[in-house]
Amino acid sequence: MLPEEQLPIRVSGQEVVVDFLAADDQPWLRALLEEFHRYGGRCERELRSRLAEPLPLVAPLPKRRAAAAVLWRLWRRQTRSAVPPRQAREIVFREAARLSPAGLPLARADTLARAAVALAVTPAELDHALFADVPGERILVSPSEPPGPTELGLRTNLALAQYLAIRSSSVRISAEGNIRALVRLAKLRGLICTVHESPSGGPPVLELSGPLSLFRRTLLYGRALAEMVPLLSWCPRFHFEASCVFRRRPATLVLSTGAPIFPSREPRHFDSRLEERFARDFARLATNWDLVREPEPVRAGGGLVFPDFLLRHRTHPDRRFLLEIVGFWTRDYLERKLSALRKAALSNLILCIDEERNCAESEMPVGAMVVRFRRRIDPAAVLAVVNPQRGRP
């Protein structure tokens, strides 16, 4: 990304204000995209020279610089030459060391001609190959699926938000729906995080340490934290706060539901093939039940647990059961999982446990309905515990 003074970002009081790209920026964004497409197959130096000039349409310079920086990351640069540049330089330098019959160094044209014969190329091809791998001389290659103006604006907004997240000391996320995907990504990327209930009774809160709170590996950590930002778009409602430093001033970046940022790929709907197969089999068999994937977390002592599914009867919504699947795990994982579920003290918990995992009944949460399985969960067995009376729908 660009130096801070060139970004469309400012500090107002204690808050960072980002001048996000919007619908009225699309005309000049289209013009910028056309310039990148026009220079496809040509060296990047030529496009950089063109972008130093004004676009056909008026564009705010900080926004234009930010959008161009995003496009430079999408457009690849390749080394294209008749011979590998290193080999070309080796042969040319060797020929340049030779002397003419008069004992003088060879002229450049003569040197290229001799080297071109040795490499079986033309002098012009050899001249181009000498510097084909130097930044600025590499050839621009358009992406297979280039963005349109709308997508480019969203990608630029995302890059600006991520730029600030990387420069944060702490991040606080309050989200409704899909918070489990946020927690999963945080753990997968090794982020320092805690999840707890909101003091006001609102949605769960995810608190993360920012890169500026660390002493080392801050760049890698910052990039990992930046991955959280596009995932927010998959939460129905969210509030994101990052305490960051911009232009040597402490300030807070605030993003909320509807922020115009480019979303990440849709999170995986299931953690495993086992869960996916159970969801499909249960939906076919239990037509009177809704199976809700990743319901809201449940309090468990001082923390939260995230059940895999909520079973809810369609005509009797008071009949609700939380279902947790314990398949492949280590002993330590199992102990922590069961300990959290015991703290939750759920009276409507269905626990599906792999028969291959030896687990004593005394370790089970009090009141939990246990369904054991081997490789595949039988939805009929689950229905048997939620419908203890035969014939009850």
> Mind listing the pLDDT tens digit for each residue in 236-267?
899 999 999 998 889 999 999 999 999 998 87
The letter for the amino acid at 124 is A
Instruction: Using alpha carbons, select from 210, 215, 201, 205 the residue that is nearest to residue 243.
Output: 210
CATH of the domain at 217: 3.30.70
Give yes or no for a contact between 183 and 193, defined as CB atoms under 8 angstroms apart. yes
Q: How many domains does the chain have?
A: 4
Same domain, 71 and 90: no
In angstroms, the CA 363 to CA 342 distance is: 9
Domain span at residue 315? 273-386
Q: What is the reported pLDDT for 195?
A: 81
End position of a domain, from candidates 230, 256, 282: 256
* DSSP run (H or E) holding 266: none
Whether residue 214 is contained in a domain is answered as yes
In this predicted structure, what is the pLDDT of residue 60? 95
Give 312-353 pLDDT, tens digit per residue.
998 888 888 989 887 655 556 666 667 777 777 777 888 888
How far is Cα of residue 70 from the mean position of the Cα atoms in its chain? 15
For residue 231, the model assigns a pLDDT of: 94
Judge if 302 and 360 occupy the same domain.
Answer: yes
Residues 344 and 373 in one domain: yes
Query: Locate tokens 């009141």: which residue?
Result: 367
Are residue 38 and residue 144 in the same domain, yes or no?
Answer: yes
Q: Angle CA(37)–CA(71)–CA(76) in degrees, nearest 5?
A: 75
Are both 216 and 329 inside the same structural domain? no
**Is residue 314 located within the same domain as residue 345?**
yes
Share of the chain above pLDDT 90, in %: 48
- End-to-end CA distance of the chain: give it in Å, rounded: 59
**For residue range 353-388, what is the model confidence (pLDDT) as tens digits?**
887 766 655 566 777 788 888 888 999 999 998 876
H helical segments located in the chain: 26-38, 44-51, 61-74, 85-96, 108-119, 123-129, 149-165, 179-188, 218-226, 228-231, 273-285, 331-344, 379-386
Question: Ramachandran region of residue 75, left (φ > 0), alpha (ψ -120 to 50) or beta?
Answer: beta
Q: In 54-198, where does DSSP find H-type helix?
A: 61-74, 85-96, 108-119, 123-129, 149-165, 179-188
Q: With respect to residue 28, please indicate whether it lies within any of the assigned structural domains.
A: yes
45 pLDDT band, cuts 50/70/90, is very high
Residue 193's beta-bridge partner residues? 208
Is residue 227 within 8 Å of 182, Cβ to Cβ? no
Residue-level pLDDT at 391: 45
205 and 317, same domain (yes or no): no
What is the tens place of the pLDDT at every residue in 56-86?
999 999 999 999 999 999 999 889 888 999 9
Give the model's pLDDT for residue 332.
62
Q: Are residues 283 and 204 in the same domain?
A: no
**Mean of all residue pLDDT scores within the chain:** 86
Write down the pLDDT at residue 161.
96
CA 223 to chain centre: 9
Is residue 392 domain-resident?
Answer: no
Using the predicted structure, report yes or no on whether residue 105 has a pLDDT greater than 80: no
319 by DSSP, 3-state: which? Answer: coil
- The verdict on 279 and 376 lying in the same domain is yes
Predicted confidence band of residue 26 (pLDDT cuts 50, 70, 90) = very high
110 or 159: whose pLDDT is higher?
A: 159
The pLDDT of residue 10: 93
User: Residues with Cβ < 8 Å from 350, sequence gap 6 or more?
Assistant: 311, 321, 322, 323, 324, 368, 369, 370, 371, 382, 385, 386
Q: Are residues 149 and 14 in the same domain?
A: yes
User: Between residues 226 and 341, which one has the greater pLDDT?
Assistant: 226
